[in-house]
Structure 1
C-alpha cells in the first residue's frame, strides 16, 4: 500500500557557466494541502551542462517518490527538453543525456508518472535547492 497516493514533484537543475559547476534540487508536495513532504538537493559536477543537471533533478525527484512510497507523481520541470524527451516527443540525441534518460525510465517503473513543463517562475523552490547545492559545494 503506498504511503502517498498522489504527489506533486518539482525538479530543477542549474549549471553555472553551462557547462560549469552544477547542482539539482527536487521537492515533493502534497496536492491537497500544499505542504512540502520532502526535499533534497545534490551537487552534480564541476563541469556539466544545464541539461545534465536537469536530468539529475528529475532523478532526484523520482528517487524521493520511491523513498516516500508514492503511487502517482506529477512532475513539474522548467526544462522543455527533458519533459519532451521523457514524453517521447523529442529524441535523445546526445550520448551524455541518453544514459541519464534511461536511468529516469528505469526509475519510472513502479510509479505512475506524468510530466509537465512549467515556466521558470513556477519552479522557484526547486531552482533554489539546485543553486544551494552549488553554493554549498567547495570550489577550488
Structure 2
C-alpha cells in the first residue's frame, strides 16, 4: 500500500504552511510521521492513497496490522507459450509475496487448447496469475507484474493500440479482474532471460508436467 503524507506545520510563532510528500510505502510514511510528531508542530495529518482516500494515523496503523496477515508486497512473473504443431498453449506464473512476516513463492502452470496465438497465451498466463491472486486473497494492493511480452505489457499500459479482437477481449477480462480485486498494477517489461522461471513453467505445461506449489522462502 502506497500513500502520500499531508499535514499542516506550525512554527513556535504561529506561522503555518501545508506540506504534501511524494508517494511512498505506508510503512515508510508511518516511520517519517513518527519522527515528525516529536516536533509537536504538526496538525491536520492525513495519509492519501492512490484512490485519493484519506486515512487518519489510527486508521492507517490498523490497516497495516491487518495487511500483515494477508498476502502483500506481491510480485508476479508470467509467461505463455504456444505450440504451432499441437495448437496447445502452456501458461506459467510465479507469485512472490509476504504474509505474517514470512516470504512465500507460489508456482502454477496450466495446459490449454482453445488459444490460437502466442500473444493470446501471454495474456492467458497473466489472467491465470490473477486467478491465483484472487484465491490467495490479494485485494486493494499494488502488485508488480513482470513479463517479457511487449504486446501484453504495452497494450495493458495503453502504450500500444490493440486491434485484434481476441487480444482486446483478453485485455478487457484482465482489466475487469484487476478492477474487481482493487489491484493497482505496475508493469515491468524484462528480457526473456530474466523471466526464466515463468518461461520454464509454461514449457513444463506444454510437456504435460503440472506444477502447483507454494513454498516458504527462508
User: TM-score, normalised on structure 2?
Assistant: 0.57
**In 1, are the aligned partners of 2:76 and 2:94 still within 8 Å (CA)?**
yes
Bigger shift: 16-25 or 119-128?
Answer: 16-25
**Pairing 1:22–2:89 present:** yes
Bigger shift: 67-76 or 117-126?
Answer: 67-76
Larger Rg: 2
**In 2, are the aligned partners of 1:24 and 1:130 still within 8 Å (CA)?**
yes
**Pairing 1:40–2:112 present:** no
**Pairing 1:68–2:136 present:** yes
CA distance in 1, matches of 2:133, 2:81: 21
* Superimposed CA distance per residue, residues 55-75 of structure 1 (whole angstroms, 9 cap, x where no aligned partner): 011101111222212222100
Bigger shift: 58-67 or 41-50?
Answer: 41-50
Which residue of structure 2 aligns with residue 118 of structure 1?
190
Which residue of structure 2 aligns with residue 93 of structure 1?
163
- Offset at residue 19 of structure 1 (A): 8.6
Write out aligned runs for 1:39-58 (5 A).
Answer: 39-45=107-113, 48-58=116-126
Q: Aligned-pair RMSD on alpha carbons?
A: 2.5
CA distance in 1, matches of 2:207, 2:97: 28
In the alignment, structure 2 segments of 5+ residues that lack a partner are 1-65, 210-218
**In 2, are the aligned partners of 1:19 and 1:50 still within 8 Å (CA)?**
no
In the alignment of these two chains, the number of paired residues is 137
**Pairing 1:81–2:151 present:** yes
CA distance in 2, matches of 1:89, 1:38: 30
